[in-house]
Amino acid sequence: MNTGLEYEEVVKKILSNKEQLPPISTDLRVDYVVFHDVVTRLSTIFNVRDGAQNLKYWLSREPGKPLVQFAATKQGLAALKRPSGDIAFVDY
């Protein structure tokens, strides 16, 4: 659905459909967590159903801002590494 679109176009599409997204609360549970590197355009998808082995996540909230926090095993972090050696995160 987003094939061939630039990063900015993908973000605009997501924001234009945000009413279809589940509300972000500390009780939200998902089956997959996706890390998308906007520099290399590579995505890493973790299956976090039923007690994920390589990645654990939890949601918390600061005033006015939900936070997604995670802890990864050595293998999980290795899956997020890019050829540059960096893991790219962008705060939105």
CB atoms within 10 A of CB 41: 9
49 bridge partner residues = none
Residue 65 domain-assigned (yes or no): yes
pTM score, whole prediction: 0.61
Does residue 66 form part of some domain? Answer: yes
Residue 30 lies in a domain: yes
19 domain residue, yes or no: no
Evaluate whether residue 91 is within a structural domain: no
Asked, for residue 6, whether it belongs to a domain, the answer is no
Give the residue from 87, 9, 20 showing the smallest Cα distance to 55.
87
d(CA 88, CA 75): 17
The range of the structural domain enclosing residue 52 comes to 24-80
Q: What is the pLDDT of residues 36-70, one digit of tens each?
A: 777 777 788 888 887 667 888 888 888 877 788 88
In a domain, 17, yes or no: no
Is 56 domain-assigned? yes
Q: How many domains does the chain have?
A: 1
Q: Find the DSSP H helices in 1-92.
A: 7-16, 74-80
